[in-house]
Amino acid sequence: MKLREDEVSVPAPGGPVRAVVLRPSGDGPLPGVLLYTDIFQLTESTLRTARRLASAGFVVCVPEIYPHGDLAGVALEFDDAGKQAGLAGAAATTTASFDADRVAVLSYLDGRPDTTTLFATGFCIGGHLAFRAAFDPRVAATVCFYPTGLHNGALGADPDAGTLGSLAEIRGRLMLVFGSQDPHVPADARLRIIAALYDAGMHDAELHVYAGGEHAFMRDVGPRHDPVLTDQALTAAISFFTTL
């Protein structure tokens, strides 16, 4: 499977959002996927995952999550300095800014002549952002990989973005993926998320908890990576998106 990979600039209220769009070669229309990165932005690791997803038959758009400040155009290293910079980028970004960029990128994807149904996915903080993308009625299905801050609402500069309080806005299908050994989203946090979903009547939301999986077990750099669980989780996500 050969892919086409392009860098684009998406107009947004706070300024342009740099993004990479990947799709199989050819011109036929395909489902579009908004893929949110973790705090390290557009790393080669995330782009490798995006390529795998695109090869399954999707137009995948991967925007920067910090496109308007000092981290615009920066792919952070997976070290302490990169982690601190990514956390600082999150702390400087409001939920309103994240949401405005999301609307802009979804509108860009929706307006492309080569996209059909819209989906969303993301990792870590990007999992939380993908969950909020599910609020958009254009999004038919969403897969959130180990979303952080979802259980207590913490997102960027806001101690409580009110995400779980807005579940009534979700119209599409929802799937959540966690590792059982994730200290950022431990069992009690996962229970709070599922309880909120069930209280809102979202009994069909899928929950996948992979035994032994650590936080960021799908990032193919560093000791947390679990290739077997990564393959299982990606296969489940692709199946979820293609079974409507």
Catalytic residue numbers, as ranges: 124, 182, 215
Half-sphere exposure of 162 (CA within 13 A, CB side): 9
User: How many whole angstroms separate alpha carbon 172 and alpha carbon 170?
Assistant: 6
| Long-range CB contact pairs, 113-118, < 8 A, 24+ | 113/29, 114/23, 114/27, 114/28, 114/29, 114/30, 114/59, 115/29, 115/30, 115/31, 115/32, 115/59, 116/29, 116/30, 116/31, 116/32, 117/31, 117/32, 117/244, 118/31, 118/32, 118/33, 118/34
User: How many whole angstroms separate alpha carbon 180 and alpha carbon 94?
Assistant: 29
CA angle 63, 229, 238 (to 5 degrees): 50
Half-sphere exposure of 203 (CA within 13 A, CB side): 1
Beta bridge partners of 144: 122, 176
